[in-house]
Structure 1
């Protein structure tokens, strides 16, 4: 108990805990559970199947893997008798506070938020066990803004302080010679807020733009007349960067590797279905967005969102050190040895079993 309290205090010191209640309320956080009578999680070495798996994710297109895994039944089928309980979050910092506090066993989350939890727990709290999404994040602004220089004195939004898009925006601004300090001061004021609030604030003219994941960037473009100033894919080699990864509590992974294996099997199945049947995948994700948020996307918005990102089982491990370097550069994290943050052993075994290529941990696997 003392260790958990210490982790939560550390997370709060970084700003992770700030807004957890507001985030949950603003995005209409909800939970669901599913159960299957057949057991498909019996073939992992060591540990026992957990009676329950508590999984966090976002109502975002960049979390299509999770939404399809739940709604298409891939997770339930793979987990067998293990009950799946889900919780929805607006952004990663609040979600990682829940994981640090023992309220989640696994989570789909952006790399910067995963890094925050890893750094604050001194490498103890979690392991990245798979990728989920690459791409799907943009800086969208008022049409009158055509250059970085015009952002001076402007207000830009992100999903939450310290989340993946927040770090990306602050680092990009620094590269343009503009300051955006963690306390809100500087050449550009960064105002972290719930994504739905960002859409309303942009429509009302109270903010000038936002760095957002899909579908929110597409919604600002389609519904509010925003234009894309920066597509984050253009900032990374070959346009490849992790937007969403699957992380698991280290303690849960040690106790229940067979359940983690089942979750990964469900993900592999979900991603295979999304890739093979994108039209129906878009429809299913859109129906889940309506269920979770109360509002479906237009056909144009869901289509644009899907073209901006793609599902993957590869965590793009080679980009994680860069993500940490960016967070350090904007004073949101401290330098940390990342060796041990990845454990892709189960993923690679299951990929190989399914006739797919193993993925790299970029030398940052278990010590």
Structure 2
């Protein structure tokens, strides 16, 4: 993995801004005429299958084509909290990240970012060793999550609480949670030094195929209809106000990328695997990419209604306090782009503009 940007949350909060209101658009559905295109847009994402939209958008130049003269710069991250800190501190302008990471950053920065689109749905599991066959076997075991407060960390802590297990942020309690980057989690799991991990794809599939683990919880089973947001596109609220044209161009690039992925999934899977190798130095085994690909799907819908539940879960975990969410979404530009493409609009579930 590329080196992560490590920045203080205090610095991030100092750049907070109020939520963004609806943005104007030209009558023909093209990018809005107000504002000016940015000279550069700095985009963060992960080398994960759950960031397929971003990987394809960059690799196939879908973003670059729509951005025109605006330069696209990219940076790879391992987990959402570091990425959100970079976004809020002004080191990134836009980022593909999990909803819990975006939610946590939005709350702490008082509106310093805005979710403008979905990207990925599902694709996260709790994979455990062969010595764990039921929930009852988890007591006194050690499980990993990608990072404290990230989307899978929140899901793991909340699920354990529902099973009657106490955890804490210091790694104590009935079940010990050790926030660990995904690659290290795989190594520790193979060595028997942790008992499992709640991780996104392709790491869940790597734990199954390479680590010889098995799935104890498929997160899809915990959500109505099996649908929950895994990855959203968030942008700096300041950047959105200053450069709505550039944000619209990013969204147009995403729609083009997702359309290509949907039309040719086999080629898309191969491209994602090749790109992951170029970013991490190692490609995925055929069995891993095949399994991981089947566990998630691309989408432009941010599944906004699931965010209320994500907040409830983070509050129950002691990671956030109850807070109003109105304004965390501005789906205006997305719905304009969807309309121009002849596709139906998506909902902000009353949590912002649409």
Measured against the shorter chain, the TM-score band is over 0.9
The equivalences for 1:123-162 within 5 A come to 124-162=111-149
Q: Check the 8 A contact 1:211/1:217 in 2, yes or no.
A: yes
Q: TM-score, normalised by structure 1?
A: 0.89
Q: Check the 8 A contact 2:332/2:353 in 1, yes or no.
A: no
Q: Check the 8 A contact 1:135/1:239 in 2, yes or no.
A: yes
In the alignment, the residues of structure 1 paired with residue 220 and residue 33 of structure 2 have an alpha-carbon distance, to the nearest angstrom, of: 38
- The ranges of structure 1 where at least 4 consecutive aligned residues each deviate by more than 4 angstroms after the TM superposition are 4-7
**Equivalent position of 2:92 in the other structure:** 104
Query: Match of 1:315, SS?
Result: coil
Q: Check the 8 A contact 2:144/2:194 in 1, yes or no.
A: yes
Q: For 1:211-247, what per-residue CA distance to the aligned partner results, in whole angstroms no more than 9, with x for missing partners?
A: 0000000001000100000000000000000000000
The equivalences for 1:31-42 within 5 A come to none
Q: CA deviation at 1:45?
A: 3.1
- Within the alignment, does 1:328 sit opposite 2:331 as a pair? no
Q: For 1:236-288, what per-residue CA distance to the aligned partner results, in whole angstroms no more than 9, with x for missing partners?
A: 00000000000000000000000000000000000000000000000100011
Query: Match of 2:329, SS?
Result: coil
Q: For 1:297-354, what per-residue CA distance to the aligned partner results, in whole angstroms no more than 9, with x for missing partners?
A: 0111111111000000000000001000000001011111100100000000000110
**Equivalent position of 1:57 in the other structure:** 45
Q: CA deviation at 1:366?
A: 3.9
**Equivalent position of 2:166 in the other structure:** 179
Q: CA deviation at 1:43?
A: 3.1
Q: CA deviation at 1:182?
A: 1.2
- Within the alignment, does 1:350 sit opposite 2:337 as a pair? yes
- Within the alignment, does 1:47 sit opposite 2:43 as a pair? no
RMSD: 1.6
In the alignment, the residues of structure 2 paired with residue 54 and residue 151 of structure 1 have an alpha-carbon distance, to the nearest angstrom, of: 41
**Equivalent position of 2:68 in the other structure:** 80
Q: Check the 8 A contact 1:42/1:49 in 2, yes or no.
A: no
In the alignment, the residues of structure 2 paired with residue 148 and residue 43 of structure 1 have an alpha-carbon distance, to the nearest angstrom, of: 51
- Which runs of 5 or more structure 2 residues have no equivalent in the other structure? 1-6, 15-28
In the alignment, the residues of structure 2 paired with residue 127 and residue 111 of structure 1 have an alpha-carbon distance, to the nearest angstrom, of: 11
Q: CA deviation at 1:9?
A: 6.8
Give the total of aligned pairs. Answer: 334
The one of 230, 255, 273 aligned to 1:286? 273
- Within the alignment, does 1:304 sit opposite 2:307 as a pair? no
The one of 8, 11, 25 aligned to 2:11? 8
The one of 297, 303, 327 aligned to 1:340? 327
In the alignment, the residues of structure 2 paired with residue 119 and residue 205 of structure 1 have an alpha-carbon distance, to the nearest angstrom, of: 37
In the alignment, the residues of structure 2 paired with residue 238 and residue 178 of structure 1 have an alpha-carbon distance, to the nearest angstrom, of: 26
Q: Check the 8 A contact 2:8/2:85 in 1, yes or no.
A: no
Q: For 1:163-197, what per-residue CA distance to the aligned partner results, in whole angstroms no more than 9, with x for missing partners?
A: 00000000000000001111211001100011000
**Equivalent position of 1:196 in the other structure:** 183
In the alignment, the residues of structure 1 paired with residue 62 and residue 158 of structure 2 have an alpha-carbon distance, to the nearest angstrom, of: 37
**Equivalent position of 2:212 in the other structure:** 225
Residues 9 and 68 (structure 1 numbering): CA distance in 2 closer, same or farther, change over 3 Å? closer
Q: Check the 8 A contact 1:339/1:365 in 2, yes or no.
A: yes
In the alignment, the residues of structure 1 paired with residue 50 and residue 154 of structure 2 have an alpha-carbon distance, to the nearest angstrom, of: 17
- Within the alignment, does 1:251 sit opposite 2:254 as a pair? no
In the alignment, the residues of structure 1 paired with residue 77 and residue 31 of structure 2 have an alpha-carbon distance, to the nearest angstrom, of: 32
